[in-house]
Amino acid sequence: MTKTRRRSRPWRTSWRSSSQRSAGPLRVPSGPRRHAQERRERRGAAPARREEGRDAPLSARRATGKAASSEDAERIECRRRSCTRAARPRRFLAPNPTPFTRGGTYTHLVGEKSVCIIDPGPDHPEHRERLVTAVADAREVRIVLTHDHGDHAGGVPKLVERLDCETWGPAGARYVERPLHAGEHVSTDQGELVAVPTPGHAERHLALHWPEAEALFVGDLLLGEGSTTWVGAYAGCVADYLGSLARVDGLEAKALYPAHGPPLTRPTEAVARFRAHRLKRVAQMRELLARRPNASEAELVEGMYGDAPPEAEKAILASVGALREHVLRSG
């Protein structure tokens, strides 16, 4: 019987003394740590063999290449209607308000016994304790990141220590142990969350589609208020961002859950609003470069934004640089 080798987490042992580490795993009597201990023990067992007949879960039949029957379709539709009526994510607002995070970062939880924690937020003790309490009765917990910016992922190391869970998210992002690629899913007891690559705000950014609730967790691709998010992290980010908006629009979700601000209950209008703003900025940049092709980035900032507030100067410079690169590349 072979045990799965777990990936090293440098931060996981920093809080334990050398004597504790040599004594083996800590014994935890109750609450989320009890469930964490049970999960550790289960990892030593060989995975149960799933049935391949009509009584097997649909995901198992997908894995064996068997086509879904009409009964499967009816069952999925029934679950979708039930989720749409009843299931809503649990939302927890981290106390990290800034001009960029607006009121703070929202962490979303999907599931009751098999739970997905989407974007744990910053490293804040009060916020972390609320999340630990929220999953105290869960048998299985996973963390999923939409991207690895500090206001979304800063709380991962200490939360992982408390819950002994695995972190999923975009390949190459900080703290991610299980990369999620397009179309791959994370299972909960309220339905599957399907990975949708949505680069633009960050190069490694994904949304999570919740088909059974007709919802989408969009990270920082869109915000719950206004018409813009920051796009300036890397060369090609403007084109990526516009493509991601189109990809999200094509999913025809009934609700979008951003990490900042309230849910968006009119997704088509929201996507159109954010797209229009970005295209307006592209048009402004094209016009400025036509008049002043050798303008410096500082001159372009002044032409587009006027006097930029000092706290936003770095972000605005990056955004203007990305717009300039996009216009020059696209012609």
Domain boundaries, the chain: 74-265
Structure confidence by residue, pLDDT tens digits, 136-147: 999 999 999 999
What's the rounded Cα separation, in Å, for the pair 299 and 304? Answer: 9
Query: For residue 23, what are its two tokens?
Result: 């004594």
3-state secondary structure of 81: helix
Q: Is the pTM of this model over 0.75?
A: yes
Q: Is the pLDDT assigned to residue 4 strictly greater than 70?
A: no
Domain 74-265: give its CATH superfamily. Ribonuclease Z/Hydroxyacylglutathione hydrolase-like (3.60.15.10)
C-alpha distances out from residue 20 to 26, 152, 160, Å: 7, 31, 18
> What percent of the chain lies above the pLDDT cut of 90?
69
What's the rounded Cα separation, in Å, for the pair 205 and 276? Answer: 21
Residue with tokens 């819950």: 163
Any idea which of 190-194, 207-211, 249-253, 327-331 has the lowest mean pLDDT? Answer: 327-331
C-alpha distances out from residue 178 to 47, 87, 153, Å: 18, 26, 15
For residue 76, the model assigns a pLDDT of: 53
Q: What is the largest CA-CA distance in the chain?
A: 71
What's the rounded Cα separation, in Å, for the pair 267 and 297? Answer: 34
For residue 11, the model assigns a pLDDT of: 47
The residues near 178 (Cβ < 8 Å, ≥ 6 apart) are 166, 167, 168, 169
Residue with tokens 């032409």: 303
What's the rounded Cα separation, in Å, for the pair 133 and 267? Answer: 32
Q: Is 199 exposed, middle or buried (0-12, 13-18, 19+ CB in 10 A)?
A: buried
Q: Is the pLDDT assigned to residue 178 strictly greater than 90?
A: yes
Q: How confident is the model at residue 183 (pLDDT cuts 50, 70, 90)?
A: very high
Q: Is 260 exposed, middle or buried (0-12, 13-18, 19+ CB in 10 A)?
A: buried
What's the rounded Cα separation, in Å, for the pair 249 and 281? Answer: 20
Contact assessment for residue 288 and residue 296, using Cβ atoms and an 8 Å cutoff:
no
Instruction: Give the full edge-to-edge strand order of the sheet including 206-210.
Output: 185-188, 191-197, 206-210, 215-219, 255-258
Query: For residue 231, what are its two tokens?
Result: 């796009």
206, 270, 189, 188: which is closest to 244 by C-alpha? 206
3-state secondary structure of 122: coil
Whole-angstrom Cα Rg for the chain: 22
For residue 78, the model assigns a pLDDT of: 52
For residue 116, the model assigns a pLDDT of: 99
Q: How confident is the model at residue 80 (pLDDT cuts 50, 70, 90)?
A: low
Q: Mean pLDDT score of the chain, rounded to an integer?
A: 83
What mean pLDDT comes out for the span 46-73? 42
Q: Is the pLDDT assigned to residue 66 strictly greater than 80?
A: no
What's the rounded Cα separation, in Å, for the pair 159 and 130? Answer: 11
What mean pLDDT comes out for the span 304-317? 87
96, 103, 93, 233: which is closest to 170 by C-alpha? 233
What mean pLDDT comes out for the span 294-309? 89
Looking at the chain, which runs of residues are DSSP E strands? Answer: 90-93, 106-110, 114-118, 140-144, 166-170, 178-180, 185-188, 191-197, 206-210, 215-219, 255-258
